[in-house]
Structure 1
């Protein structure tokens, strides 16, 4: 039986479709939405792709500060932060938790590829628009965009001077946000734009151990852009940007415990034995957590040089990009106030890329785009598990203090590709799109795991005592292992379009996608099952073969089919877009928690993602617009014999003892139904003022919040309500707004799993869970001055 919320969503979306089909009472017409999903400016209604476009104005009004905020307005787009990583997905497909992964959802900023998970956390502001392209985007975007692409376009310098200052304050969570934008001509041929963001938030969690609010965020961005009209045929755009996004703490808590031996009792027993005070897990304390301190410090910088030159009727585009970041993170990853261990990690990444593209003028019998792409990257990653001097592990052995196990990883990659796409305009009604891309990539990588004694000396695997401790956590030291990969892929596309009438277009698409193989950064064991280290046992030192780790994994492939239609209704006052899709994936790259502290990458098997997506707009009256979008997703593992079992679940994999067979089940973060409904109203107040209000309803069906598909971590269906009410000058020069988010105060789990060490300390007889929660209700005041 459908819930009341499900029925409400169905009725709401049905209302958009039915009402939009009614004849209009006046000559109302929606403004055209222009996108560049096919690397040329086109009306959204002419693009044969399932695309959601969010304008920069909507982002500013809705308080969309990053990709995570964007997911509320784009069904089938998910974003999840974890203890040691970030996951972004489209239609249920995403990359797991491993710094070796490229993301299944390609992120592109002004044409530059941002493939690293950490960059999905970067702040977004002063945007022209963001386009979310669902399904494999393997031709014009290309680089590993097997699930879809997020194409971001920042605002460009303007011909006329303009500027704005926007400030926001939210008292409950201590949020302060200031944005400054200045844009205009510098000379007759040169224009510039300066955009500055400064944002802080104290957080909505109370860390009872450190007596502070978390997660404390400090975000800043400085972006400078120049546009030079070098000649009538040449335009040069240069963008320089530097940003930082630092946090103290995390928005997670331990939520419950299961099993015969409570985790809290096991920790309290160790506490009492060493006189360290009591630890009590209290599942009733909402937005309270215990931690000895977590932090994440991130810095990014990028340079983008875009040159467009007219060669007769053909446009030559050159996009040169430099993208770099570094971060350092500290994680109290036992997630309790008692001192047991801490995890530190750091990454240093550099990328240089060059794209050359030739574009025909359009409107001819054959319209085409062709080009080449090159990219070189350098990645350095290191992490460590440290046992501090006051760790409770001293109870086991007094020498278990001020020791660590560390890992170093390095990878270099060089990629090149060539691509082309052509549209044959057969006649006024029929078009055929053909595209293809060939990609070749070389990767070289190395990894080493080693122990460090209390003096700070690198002891490799020579310390039997350290081997004994860390092998209990499935960690074994080893000398440097190296490997290289060389792979290529050919990805075609075929799309047929039919203009049924001036107000209706149908399309059918077949395409393939791939995500390159690579090297596992985070596996805690040597890939050779025969490898072992010496550990202490009751019988004395013995060679322990330990566990088998992973170093290399293979590429992931996709085959996709999509049927869609785009319809203009009510004499131009309404639009409705529909897409029916089915994508089959092979050799899915997944990251599996090893049950203790590590993750192993595997090519999981096969999966099918299929469903229906709808979105529409309806201009009900002058100043009154109804917008809606909805998605139905049917995701199923066709073959997945090596899933990580949830706590208490008996392993049932016939091919991988100790694991669970997930074949026939849904994946985590794949709600069956998602949808949004927005009502935007602008009403004049006198001759000089206006009242602008926007109501957003955001719905999600229930879903698994853990990659183990644990029944103890299921997020129930919910509906969030956002409301923005603004009063300002009719000419837009100033505005004061009240912004309410999650007004129904829904508690939404965005990620969860078994707490590290909980099964270890209870000897497998109990477990506790940790869960990340979305922000609760917030109400902010925002003021904007434009000049």
Structure 2
């Protein structure tokens, strides 16, 4: 089914050209973006950009960034057990709270660089622009893979309002949104946006007899727009929100063992004194003793636009803060083994000042200064409950007598970690366009960034409510011996600071071949700053030996270096059939060096390394066609070829024989692709509407989202590979012709595809089987759902 869909868009565009003579009176509505900090037609911007309107997101029931990825090729977002991964063209950051994000998020021009904020719900947006490739000048802050720019709807000069409600019975989803906007005085207007959303979930937790994950989201946003004079406009936005979940959308799958090995399920069965089954196939059921994630956000943005003669001076002040508390039953089974909890508190202030020339001159330019400071505190803990099966397993008859004697000490203990980081960043940027002639334009830009970071981290064990000494892994430091089995080493606080500066250039050449066809070529460089590893479970100095795992000296990571990219892109934007159709195409090649990766240590921890080098290249194609009045076809497709040029120190997947020439315990992935990098990915859409009688209109919108196969685990484990799929979404609506109301049925994933978004080994599964068996877990997207949606506008 996938291959015919890959060919659909080029054939459709060919049909557009062939039918140009019959489309003389049809013209597509223009799409306007601010990808270059100016209001421009999408067809004039020399960047690979996808713009998704707020109306499309409402109709498709897109409530967050994860839901939008189906409509933007080469964009993926995946939740994991302890983090969130966003990727563009295969470029992403791993699982670590210390990482800057490879894909920068911006809301009304303010940088939202923390991965946790990617889970925040969408509400009352004008549009979302996805810019692919390094955005190193006008966005700048670490956006080495691309940028996601979200633009909220602004106060209006005329009074308007909207109420939208949605109900989906199968998974208990209820969504209510209210918007009021209009003038308050002759010069002051306001907008109030409210959202409340609840969902029981689509997983059955058979341990707790409840549906998961139970989502609860709330957002309140208020905006004021003051037209102080003809030259001065001030916009203030204040927002507070929360997004909480109970449970997780994952389940254990594919338990396996080596020849003659011990099945993980058999170990659990012995420990609980009864049969314990791990699923061999996906069934939207899980066993867990309870998980939750409670998140609170607040932000304020003040935007000032001042007409300085023919120039525009813009100042954006942003405050962004969030905190969360999570508890993870991270053995991902109903057995009582261990839990992991974490808390993070983050605050950020930023100030951008830029000036832009009026545009349309021989030389157009934009430039400015940027400042950002942030503070983060993070702590987490691995906790072994008093009734945990882990001490029982370690005291089993196959364990050495010395371990049998001390294993019971693990009960009612924890290993805890504290981390802090302060950051301060300054940047200056400029971009200049020389309009050489009516047909040729040359753009050059540069940004210089300097950033300072200070961080501290410590690891410690707690037993009986008291912190235990560090010291060597010898008696009486039994906790160091026991936690060393899980590659966890306690140590006194370590602290460090780092400063780095980087210049990133851009050069673009544009050629208007005709009034309707533009060709461009771009070279740019990007970087993602280095930092400090939050989640490493051991001291970075091999001379500090407070715990070992057998004969293995545990060595962790604290500081890691910056990641760099060099990117080439050529593309064309074409308006066809006298404005009835558009076709955009981009081909790219990006080389990445000193890749920052977060590698699972096979037990409980992750270590950050600058792993090696990679090349990602491909082609992106998107188009629209207004076939006839009321009928629009659109589609987009991305081809991606991601290859590791160097990656000698990847973790091997279970049962894999090491092929590393430098470390027999690791695997070399040179020449391989990476996770979340399908070769083809895209969507095909049709929108058709017709009047019914004098006052009514019916409308049907259909989308087919498709993807080639891809790996869901960073180890490229074949047990965790998602097959190719195509899923159908359909919306059937009836409403008034003046658009004041409509009622719709919204169907998602009507083909009921099982789509895995992330997978890995079950923590401690290999440890409890003595390395002879393991099991896996995987996150899955929502299955088929059909909701009733109603909208009233006034």
TM-superposed deviation, 1:454: 2.0
**Cα distance in 1 for residues equivalent to 2:385 and 2:469:** 18
Over residues 489-533 of structure 1, what are the superposed CA-to-partner deviations in whole Å (9 max), with x where a residue is unaligned? 000000000000001000000000000000000000110112112
In structure 2, the partner of 1:669 is 676
Q: Which residue of 578, 588, 593 corresponds with 1:571? A: 578
In structure 2, the partner of 1:394 is 391
Q: Contact (CA 8 Å) 2:548, 2:554: kept in 1 or not?
A: no
**Cα distance in 1 for residues equivalent to 2:720 and 2:639:** 22
In structure 2, the partner of 1:406 is 416
- The secondary structure found in structure 2 opposite 1:143 is coil
Q: Contact (CA 8 Å) 1:464, 1:536: kept in 2 or not?
A: no
- Mapping of residues 116-127 of structure 1, within 5 Å: 116-127=114-125
Q: Which residue of 459, 467, 471 corresponds with 2:484? A: 471
- Mapping of residues 388-787 of structure 1, within 5 Å: 388-395=385-392, 396=395, 397-457=407-467, 459-460=469-470, 464-533=477-546, 546-787=553-794
Task: Summarize the Cα distance change of 1:535–1:562 in structure 2 as closer, same or farther, 3 Å threshold.
Answer: closer
TM-superposed deviation, 1:267: 1.4
Over residues 349-381 of structure 1, what are the superposed CA-to-partner deviations in whole Å (9 max), with x where a residue is unaligned? 000000000000101001100100000000101
In structure 2, the partner of 1:266 is 267
In structure 2, the partner of 1:225 is 223
Q: Which residue of 5, 9, 15 corresponds with 2:11? A: 15
Q: Which residue of 306, 311, 319 corresponds with 1:309? A: 306
Q: Contact (CA 8 Å) 1:401, 1:454: kept in 2 or not?
A: no
Q: Contact (CA 8 Å) 1:471, 1:546: kept in 2 or not?
A: no
TM-superposed deviation, 1:284: 4.3
Q: Contact (CA 8 Å) 1:646, 1:710: kept in 2 or not?
A: yes
In structure 1, the partner of 2:356 is 359
Report how many aligned residue pairs link the two structures: 773
In structure 1, the partner of 2:140 is 142
Over residues 113-144 of structure 1, what are the superposed CA-to-partner deviations in whole Å (9 max), with x where a residue is unaligned? 00000001011110000000000000000000
**Cα distance in 2 for residues equivalent to 1:330 and 1:569:** 54
Q: Contact (CA 8 Å) 2:143, 2:528: kept in 1 or not?
A: yes
Over residues 578-613 of structure 1, what are the superposed CA-to-partner deviations in whole Å (9 max), with x where a residue is unaligned? 000000000010000000000000001100000000
* Unmatched segments (≥5 aa) in structure 2: 396-406
In structure 1, the partner of 2:369 is 372
- The secondary structure found in structure 1 opposite 2:22 is coil
Over residues 302-339 of structure 1, what are the superposed CA-to-partner deviations in whole Å (9 max), with x where a residue is unaligned? 00000000110010000000000000000000001010
**Cα distance in 2 for residues equivalent to 1:424 and 1:64:** 40
Task: Summarize the Cα distance change of 1:487–1:535 in structure 2 as closer, same or farther, 3 Å threshold.
Answer: closer
Task: Summarize the Cα distance change of 1:224–1:362 in structure 2 as closer, same or farther, 3 Å threshold.
Answer: same
**Cα distance in 2 for residues equivalent to 1:357 and 1:185:** 28
**Cα distance in 1 for residues equivalent to 2:458 and 2:612:** 28
In structure 1, the partner of 2:404 is none
- The secondary structure found in structure 1 opposite 2:719 is coil
Q: Contact (CA 8 Å) 1:388, 1:402: kept in 2 or not?
A: yes
**Cα distance in 2 for residues equivalent to 1:305 and 1:450:** 43
Q: Contact (CA 8 Å) 1:529, 1:545: kept in 2 or not?
A: no
**Cα distance in 2 for residues equivalent to 1:285 and 1:11:** 31
Task: Summarize the Cα distance change of 1:535–1:91 in structure 2 as closer, same or farther, 3 Å threshold.
Answer: closer
**Cα distance in 1 for residues equivalent to 2:547 and 2:745:** 64
Over residues 520-547 of structure 1, what are the superposed CA-to-partner deviations in whole Å (9 max), with x where a residue is unaligned? 000001101121126899xxxxxx7731
Over residues 714-760 of structure 1, what are the superposed CA-to-partner deviations in whole Å (9 max), with x where a residue is unaligned? 10000010000000011111110000000000000000011001100
TM-score, normalised by the number of residues in structure 1: 0.97
* Unmatched segments (≥5 aa) in structure 1: 538-543
- The secondary structure found in structure 2 opposite 1:466 is helix
Q: Contact (CA 8 Å) 2:527, 2:563: kept in 1 or not?
A: yes
CA-atom RMSD, angstroms?
1.2
Q: Contact (CA 8 Å) 1:465, 1:535: kept in 2 or not?
A: no
Q: Contact (CA 8 Å) 2:755, 2:780: kept in 1 or not?
A: yes
In structure 2, the partner of 1:540 is none
- The secondary structure found in structure 1 opposite 2:140 is coil
- Mapping of residues 201-220 of structure 1, within 5 Å: 201-220=199-218
**Cα distance in 1 for residues equivalent to 2:16 and 2:352:** 42
More displaced 10-residue stretch of structure 1: 293-302 or 23-32: 23-32
- Mapping of residues 33-112 of structure 1, within 5 Å: 33-112=31-110
In structure 2, the partner of 1:248 is 246
TM-superposed deviation, 1:456: 4.4
**Cα distance in 2 for residues equivalent to 1:545 and 1:262:** 25
Q: Contact (CA 8 Å) 2:613, 2:644: kept in 1 or not?
A: yes
